[in-house]
């Protein structure tokens, strides 16, 4: 016999036929099949919790992110989307928006609502934390309650105390190794100890007098990718063994430290707006939940159904595109994102994703630029899009625009620093800023994390060295000219003679003579498999693009110094 779960999964689109209402407040949107009063109370409670966290949380939100709450009155419907059988609510990170998904809301479930909201705060802060700390810290905060002078946090969780008193503890190494695929996280018989010990360790590190002053440093060190052993040593000057012993002693006291935040915890006076939810909207929301839960078949079917029903609405195409990315289908993602973009998507992340895919597929640069420019227009501080647009501008040989864009990037992630400094260095070289170019190239070499980045930085340094000496050295502030022409001849000189070779190129029907420096100072770019056409003497004419630094008015023998040849 098929289980209730499998039957529900097979007919999950029917959930859209439940009576869904949508409640909208200042910072949340809630989809609910629950009682309207319960739903109103719940969304206002979220507003109250959010206001508290904006004032006291050490994990500051970087930017506002659309946040959706989904409340299922039917617990079986909730189970279809839950990540495991032990969750009473969960946080679903989405590509476009995050969701907090829960069973029927009531004051008895507010603790778990707060728990999931903490996960949202941590995600939006940009912090990268191990699973135990993400869960443990959320549990510490879920105990918050209003008191006379403010808000108290840190009450005991009796079920966890019982678990810790009777079960086998995980070592700190075992605790730190747990991820979302681990039995200790997903199996009911094992998850209890993981959650209990995560809560206890986070409680001690965050609230106890011996540790709380170093907690901020602890977060920062973990966020930089250091190990738990390193973070404990740097932040608290203790080994794992010492911290583990402290934790056992801390729990044996049965009277843990709490704290009171002296901040108001007041009810919102603004009533949420309540409306009915059209079938398209509820099905789209459910498809997004399936996608967040990695139910790719179910999500894909719903997105396809919505695309067929309303092909002029972009939402389903956008959702399908993100699902394609999740599945690793780049061609399908380009197609779906492209439709959403053409229909006017105002999602900057989608625009960036599409630009990345189109660039990898070698689509016209102008098309990629259009996608990136929309992303930046929608979000002017979108560093990743600004960075990518700057790199595309370098590829397009628009060095003025590229340099300006690089100046707007802001903080660069370590994994992108080598490319950032290399591209900026190349742009500075093309604009005649040799000193700045060399500084950037050396920084790129130091930041390189693989052989490809190392070789790119070394090639750039070699090009800078070659262009910094000899009669064809780059002059400060040099600007190159880019023209199409036809190669007609090459007069070579003896290497080391101090003279320059000459190259004849016909441009707009006029034969022009250019100085050609040593080979190391000239970039020669041609299609793979194309033979070397640059031979001394008269040339079989061939089309090329030449970039050159124009000669001074006083130099009547040459039109300029060749810097780059493409054919």
Q: Cα(415)–Cα(413) distance, rounded to whole angstroms? A: 5
Average pLDDT over residues 196-208: 95
Q: Alpha carbon of 50 to those of 60, 106, 119, 272: distances in Å?
A: 12, 18, 12, 15
Q: Which tens digits make up the pLDDT trace of 356-414? A: 999 999 999 999 999 999 999 999 999 999 999 999 999 999 999 999 999 999 889 89
Task: Name which of 39, 122, 52, 56 is nearest 265 in CA terms.
Answer: 52
Mean pLDDT of 421-439: 97
- C-alpha distances in angstroms, 479 versus 427, 429, 439? 11, 10, 20
Strands 98-103 and 67-72, sheet pairing: parallel
CA–CA separation, 29 and 284 (whole Å): 14
Q: What is the mean pLDDT of residues 54-74?
A: 73
Q: Which CATH architecture has domain 481-566?
A: Beta Barrel (2.40)
Q: Please state the length of the chain.
A: 567
Give the CA count within 13 Å in the CB-facing half-sphere of 303. 26
**pLDDT of the residue at 12:** 46
| Residue 459: partners with Cβ closer than 8 Å, 6 or more residues away | none
pLDDT for 147: 83
* Average pLDDT along the chain: 90
Least reliable range by pLDDT among 143-157, 433-447, 451-465: 143-157
How far apart CA 567 and CA 541 sit, in angstroms, is: 12
The mean per-residue pLDDT over the stretch 441-446 comes to 98
3-state secondary structure string across 122-188:
HHHHCCCCCHHHHHHHHHHHCCCEEECCEEEECCCCHHHHHHHHHCCCCCHHHHHHCCCCCHHHHCH
Q: Where are the domains of the chain?
A: 142-266, 412-469, 481-566
Q: 372-376, 474-478, 528-532 — which is least confidently predicted? A: 528-532
Q: Is the pLDDT reported for residue 5 higher than 80?
A: no
Name the residue with tokens 């159904």.
305
Given a cut of 60, is residue 304 above it in pLDDT? yes
pLDDT value of position 262: 73
State the pLDDT at residue 188. 84
Within 10 angstroms of residue 84's Cβ, the number of other Cβ atoms is 13
Q: How confident is the model at residue 553 (pLDDT cuts 50, 70, 90)?
A: low
Q: Using CA atoms, how far apart are residues 480 and 498, in angstroms rounded to an integer?
A: 23
Phi/psi at 105 (5° precision)? -75, 145
Please write the tens of the pLDDT for every residue from 236-259. 999 999 999 999 999 887 667 788
Average of per-residue pLDDT across 31-35: 95
Compute the average pLDDT of residues 198-224: 93
């Amino acid at each position: 016999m098929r289980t209730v779960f499998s039957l529900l999964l097979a007919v999950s689109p029917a959930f859209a036929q439940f009576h869904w209402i949508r409640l909208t407040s200042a910072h949340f949107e809630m989809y609910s099949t629950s009682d309207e009063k319960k739903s109103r109370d719940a969304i206002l409670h979220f507003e109250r919790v959010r206001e508290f966290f904006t004032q006291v949380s050490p994990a500051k939100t970087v930017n506002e992110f659309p946040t959706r709450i989904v409340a299922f009155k039917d617990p079986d419907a909730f189970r279809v989307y839950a990540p495991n059988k032990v969750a009473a609510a969960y946080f679903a990170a989405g590509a476009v928006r995050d969701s907090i998904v829960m069973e029927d809301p009531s004051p008895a479930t507010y603790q778990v609502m707060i728990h999931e909201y903490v996960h949202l705060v941590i995600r939006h802060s940009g912090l990268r934390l191990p699973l135990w700390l993400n869960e443990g810290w959320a549990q510490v905060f879920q105990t918050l309650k209003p008191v006379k002078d403010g808000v108290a946090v840190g009450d005991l969780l009796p079920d966890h105390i019982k678990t810790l008193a009777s079960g086998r503890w995980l070592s700190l190494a075992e605790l730190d190794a747990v991820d979302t695929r681990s039995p200790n996280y997903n199996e009911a018989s094992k998850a209890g100890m993981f959650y209990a010990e995560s809560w206890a360790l986070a409680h001690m590190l965050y609230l106890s007098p011996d540790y709380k002053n170093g907690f901020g440093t602890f977060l920062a060190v973990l966020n930089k990718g250091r190990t738990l052993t390193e973070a404990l040593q740097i932040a608290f000057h203790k080994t794992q063994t010492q911290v583990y012993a402290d934790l056992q002693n801390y729990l044996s006291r049965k009277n843990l430290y709490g704290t009171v935040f002296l901040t108001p915890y007041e009810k919102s006076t603004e009533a949420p707006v309540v409306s009915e939810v059209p079938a398209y909207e509820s099905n789209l929301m459910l498809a997004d939940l399936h996608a967040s839960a990695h139910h790719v078949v179910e999500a894909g079917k719903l997105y396809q159904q919505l695309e067929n029903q309303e092909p002029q609405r972009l939402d389903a195409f956008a959702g399908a595109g993100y699902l394609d990315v999740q599945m690793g289908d780049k061609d399908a993602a380009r197609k779906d994102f492209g439709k959403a973009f053409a229909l006017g998507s105002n999602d900057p992340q989608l625009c960036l994703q599409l630009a990345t895919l189109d660039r990898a597929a070698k689509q016209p640069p102008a098309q990629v630029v259009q996608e990136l420019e929309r992303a930046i227009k929608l979000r002017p501080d979108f560093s990743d899009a600004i960075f990518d647009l700057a790199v595309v501008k370098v590829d397009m040989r628009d060095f003025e625009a590229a340099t300006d864009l690089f100046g707007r990037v802001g903080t660069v992630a370590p994994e992108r620093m080598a490319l950032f400094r290399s591209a900026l260095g190349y742009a500075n070289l093309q604009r005649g800023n040799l000193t700045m170019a060399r500084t950037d190239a050396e920084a790129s070499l130091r930041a390189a994390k693989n052989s490809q980045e190392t070789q790119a930085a070394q090639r750039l340094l070699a090009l800078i060295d070659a262009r910094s000496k000899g009669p064809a050295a780059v002059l400060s502030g040099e600007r190159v000219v880019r023209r199409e022409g036809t190669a007609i001849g090459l007069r070579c000189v003896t290497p080391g003679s101090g003279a320059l070779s000459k190259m004849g190129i016909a441009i707009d029907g006029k034969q022009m003579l250019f100085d050609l420096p040593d080979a190391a100072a000239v970039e020669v770019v041609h299609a793979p498999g194309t033979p070397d056409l640059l031979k001394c003497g008269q040339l079989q004419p061939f089309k090329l693009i030449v970039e050159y630094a124009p000669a001074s008015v006083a130099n009547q023998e040459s039109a300029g110094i060749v810097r780059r040849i493409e054919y």
